[in-house]
């Protein structure tokens, strides 16, 4: 593993930080954490174990009382010391378990500061874990993702990243880049064997030009495959936006309510009932889905309704998937409208042919509608399992269905993977143009830099500030 080139790294003595690590508000118990060289000393000043005669032991929970330095006890609870480097941050840490009321927590935080600690910045514990080399940057991000995961599947995916799933995939590519780099170095030293048409490399010698070009293609291909996972990875992390669109009275609000299992939106036989967008999150196939009910689309002179249809269009423009709902009993004009409407949408579309419970309902033919068609009744629930499966499949994408443990989940990941892939493609093109190994090494270095930044082997203060500023305090 290369050394990191950031400006904060290494095993330096940092000041000792303190924060509430459990959720704020009232609860049975709250957890306050300390990390830094003075963690044990500060904990010793504010926590007084009942069996004070016994010496403190690493990782052993003790019962006792909390008090400000030199002050009277304000709570009783438990505390544990965890010495570095085998702690989460890699530094000495203490965890204090007090009663979970705001007054007690505030008293404990103040006591810790009086004893010499400093309030932690957002994500500072995780930042220290990174700086101590306990986890890489992709794993740091997954800590935040695990905390904010809204479905069990999203949480499992974040845990997979924390356990190194994506890191392993990136390291495999890193290994291939290093190997190509070694051959390029050799080619710089033995230029004759690098000539076009020189044939396979002699044992121990540098690879020939075409073999190297092949290696660049493999690296670019691996990166392109990762790149394709970004849509499903982002959706699993942030949630997928699904806009429900259709003409007035098609049953959009009834469908929203059925999928949510609550009467969130007003439903009525009067066309034009929904005026504003109505958004709510639900779990579909383990994916957090933000369903957006919209106003029925029709030409109108009513300014309020017009604003509603504008909002519907905006919801469609920013959606990951559009659910176009038609009243399947309304005749061919409804199907023609849907076909025209779908033609103008950018996002993938599923056509929900609703009201299939009505005797005169007709399912449109595949040739009539340029989208997946699903027959449903939002009133009876018919076809809803299939609709959920289609929504989940569309949001997971072809490449997301396989392995949730190695998805690109953030724009930062995607941008750096694209940068690395382009460098590999440039390297291959340079080889094909017969450029010198020195010039090809420039592309390779660029690719290496992008991967280094992704894993946090090469970072600046600004990058860390940007990433950790989105964390909560206490993590």
Ligand X SMILES: Nc1nc2c(ncn2[C@@H]2O[C@H](COP(=O)(O)OP(=O)(O)OP(=O)(O)O)[C@@H](O)[C@H]2O)c(=O)[nH]1
Interface positions with ligand X (CB under 6 A): 246, 248-254, 267-269, 271-274, 295-296, 354-355, 357-358, 377-379
Among Mg ion, ligand X, none, the one that 452 touches (CB under a kind-dependent 5 to 8 A) is: none
Q: Residues near 167 by Cβ (< 8 Å), separated by ≥ 6? A: 136, 138, 139, 161, 455
- Which of Mg ion, ligand X, none interacts with 355 (beta carbon under 5 to 8 A by kind)? ligand X
With CB under 5 A as the contact rule, which of the stretches 96-104, 251-259, 278-286, 377-385 interacts with Mg ion? 251-259
Tokens representing 17 are 């930080």
What pairing do the DSSP bridges indicate for beta strands 27-35 and 17-20? Answer: antiparallel
Q: Give the count of beta carbons closer than 10 Å to the beta carbon of residue 442.
A: 13
Given the complex with ligand X, which of 137 and 378 has the nearer CB atom?
Answer: 378
**β-bridge pairing 321-327 and 240-246:** parallel
Tokens representing 242 are 């699904």
Part of the chain binding Mg ion (CB under 5 A), chosen from 33-41, 271-279, 380-388, 447-455: 271-279
Neighbouring residues of 119: CB distance < 8 A, sequence distance ≥ 6: 17, 18, 19, 109, 113, 473
CB of 262 to ligand X, least distance (A): 14
d(CA 103, CA 80): 22
- State in angstroms the smallest separation of the CB of 358 from ligand X: 5
Residue 75, classed as helix, strand or coil, is strand
From the list ligand X, Mg ion, none, pick the one residue 203 interacts with, judged by a Cβ distance below 5 to 8 Å according to partner type. Answer: none
The CB-of-309 to ligand X minimum distance in angstroms stands at 10
Question: Applying CB under 5 A, which part among 267-275, 279-287, 381-389, 405-413 lies near Mg ion?
Answer: 267-275
Q: Are 251 and 327 in contact (CB under 8 A)?
A: yes
Reported as type and span, the H/E element at residue 324 is: strand 321-327
Q: Which region among 80-88, 108-116, 225-233, 246-254 touches Mg ion (by CB under 5 A)?
A: 246-254
CB atoms within 10 A of CB 262: 11
Secondary structure element (H or E) that encloses residue 33, with its range: strand 27-35
Give least dist CB 324 to ligand X, A. 11
CB of 362 to Mg ion, least distance (A): 22
Instruction: Decide: 352 and 371 in contact? Cβ < 8 Å.
Output: no
Pairing of strands 62-67, 47-49: antiparallel
Query: Shortest gap between Cβ of 280 and ligand X (angstroms)?
Result: 14
Strands 118-119 and 17-20: parallel
Which backbone phi and psi does 371 adopt, to 5 degrees? -165, 165
Query: Shortest distance, CB of residue 345 to ligand X, whole angstroms?
Result: 17
Q: Among 60-68, 248-256, 337-345, 357-365, which window interacts with Mg ion (CB under 5 A)?
A: 248-256
Query: Using the rule CB under 5 A, is 274 a contact of Mg ion?
Result: yes
> Residue of minimal CB distance from ligand X?
296
Q: Which residues pair with 349 in a beta bridge?
A: 322
Please, what is the minimum distance in Å from the beta carbon of residue 239 to ligand X? 22
Query: Choosing among Mg ion, ligand X, none, which partner's interface includes residue 378 (Cβ < 5 to 8 Å by kind)?
Result: ligand X
* Identity of the residue, 292 or 423, whose beta carbon is nearer to Mg ion in the bound complex: 292
- The nearer residue to ligand X, 186 or 342, going by C-beta atoms, is 342
Q: Which is nearer to ligand X, 248 or 456 (CB)?
A: 248
Does position 354 interact with Mg ion (CB under 5 A)? The reply is no
Smallest distance, Å, CB 333 to ligand X? Answer: 16
Q: From the list 253, 309, 377, 396, which residue makes contact with Mg ion (rule: CB under 5 A)?
A: 253
User: Which residue from 128, 132, 126 is spatially nearest to 162, judged by alpha carbons?
Assistant: 126
- Could you tell me how far CA 60 lies from the centroid of its own chain? 35
Structure-token pair, residue 449: 């830099």
254 binds, among ligand X, Mg ion, none (CB under 5 to 8 A by kind): ligand X
User: Nearest approach, Cβ of 274 to ligand X (angstroms)?
Assistant: 3
Residue 354 binds: one of Mg ion, ligand X, none (C-beta under 5 to 8 A by kind): ligand X
| Angle of helix 165-189 versus helix 137-148 axis, rounded to 10 | 160
CB of 346 to Mg ion, least distance (A): 23
Pick between residue 57 and residue 302 the one whose CB is nearest to ligand X: 302
Residues near Mg ion (CB under 5 A), total: 4
Buried/exposed code over 110-129 (b: 16+ C-beta within 10 A; e: otherwise): ebbeebbbeebebbbbbbbb
* Residue closer to ligand X (CB basis): 82 or 353: 353
Residue 269 interacting entry, from Mg ion, ligand X, none, C-beta within 5 to 8 Å by type: ligand X
Q: Is 351 helix (H, G, I), strand (E, B) or coil?
A: strand
C-alpha Rg value of the chain to the nearest Å = 29
If the CB atoms of residues 284 and 292 are measured against Mg ion, the closer one turns out to be 292
Contact 404, 160 (CB under 8 A): yes
CA nearest neighbour of 362 among 326, 327, 329: 329
When asked if residue 229 is in the footprint of Mg ion (CB under 5 A), the reply is: no
Contacting positions for Mg ion (CB under 5 A): 252-253, 273-274
């Amino acid at each position: 593993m290369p050394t990191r080139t950031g400006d904060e790294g290494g095993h330096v003595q940092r000041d000792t930080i303190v924060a509430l690590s459990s959720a704020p508000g009232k609860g049975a118990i709250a957890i306050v954490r300390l990390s830094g060289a003075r963690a044990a000393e500060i904990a010793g000043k504010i926590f007084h174990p009942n069996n004070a005669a016994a010496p403190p032991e690493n990782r052993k929970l003790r019962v006792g009382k909390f008090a400000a330095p030199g002050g009277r006890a304000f709570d009783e609870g438990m505390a544990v010391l965890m010495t570095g480097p085998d702690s989460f941050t890699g530094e000495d840490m203490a965890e204090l378990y007090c009663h979970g009321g705001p007054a007690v927590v505030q008293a404990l935080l103040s006591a810790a500061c009086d004893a010499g600690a400093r309030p932690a910045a957002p994500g500072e514990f995780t930042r220290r874990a990174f700086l101590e080399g306990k986890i890489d940057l992709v794993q740091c991000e997954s800590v935040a993702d695990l905390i904010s995961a809204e479905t069990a599947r999203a949480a499992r995916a974040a845990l997979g990243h924390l356990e190194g799933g994506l890191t392993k995939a990136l390291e495999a590519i890193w290994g291939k880049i290093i190997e190509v780099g070694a051959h390029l170095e050799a080619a710089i030293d033995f230029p004759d064997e690098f000539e076009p048409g020189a044939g396979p490399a002699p044992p121990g010698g540098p690879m020939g030009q075409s073999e190297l070009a092949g290696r660049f293609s493999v690296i670019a291909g691996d990166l392109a495959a990762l790149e394709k996972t970004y849509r499903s990875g982002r959706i699993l992390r942030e949630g997928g936006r699904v806009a429900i669109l259709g003409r007035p009275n098609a049953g959009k609000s009834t469908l929203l309510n059925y999928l949510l299992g609550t009467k969130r939106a007003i439903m009525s036989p009067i066309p034009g009932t929904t005026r504003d967008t109505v958004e709510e999150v639900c779990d579909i196939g383990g994916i957090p889905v933000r369903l957006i009910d919209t106003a029925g689309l029709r030409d109108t002179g009513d300014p309020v309704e017009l604003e509603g249809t504008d909002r519907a269009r905006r919801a469609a423009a920013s959606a990951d998937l559009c659910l176009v709902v038609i009243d399947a009993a309304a005749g061919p004009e409804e199907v023609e409208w849907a076909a025209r409407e779908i033609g103008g949408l950018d996002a993938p579309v599923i056509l929900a042919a609703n009201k299939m419970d009505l005797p005169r309902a007709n399912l449109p033919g595949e040739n009539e509608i340029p989208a997946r068609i699903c027959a449903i009744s939002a009133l009876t629930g018919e076809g809803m399992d299939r609709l959920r499966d289609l929504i989940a499949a569309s949001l997971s994408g072809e490449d997301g269905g396989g392995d949730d443990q190695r998805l690109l989940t953030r724009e930062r990941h995607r941008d750096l993977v694209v940068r690395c892939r382009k460098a590999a493609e440039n390297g291959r093109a340079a080889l094909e143009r017969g450029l010198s190994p020195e010039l090809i090494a420039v592309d390779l270095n660029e690719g290496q830099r992008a991967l280094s930044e992704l894993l946090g082997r090469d970072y600046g203060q600004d990058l860390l500030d940007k990433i950790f500023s989105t964390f909560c305090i206490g993590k």
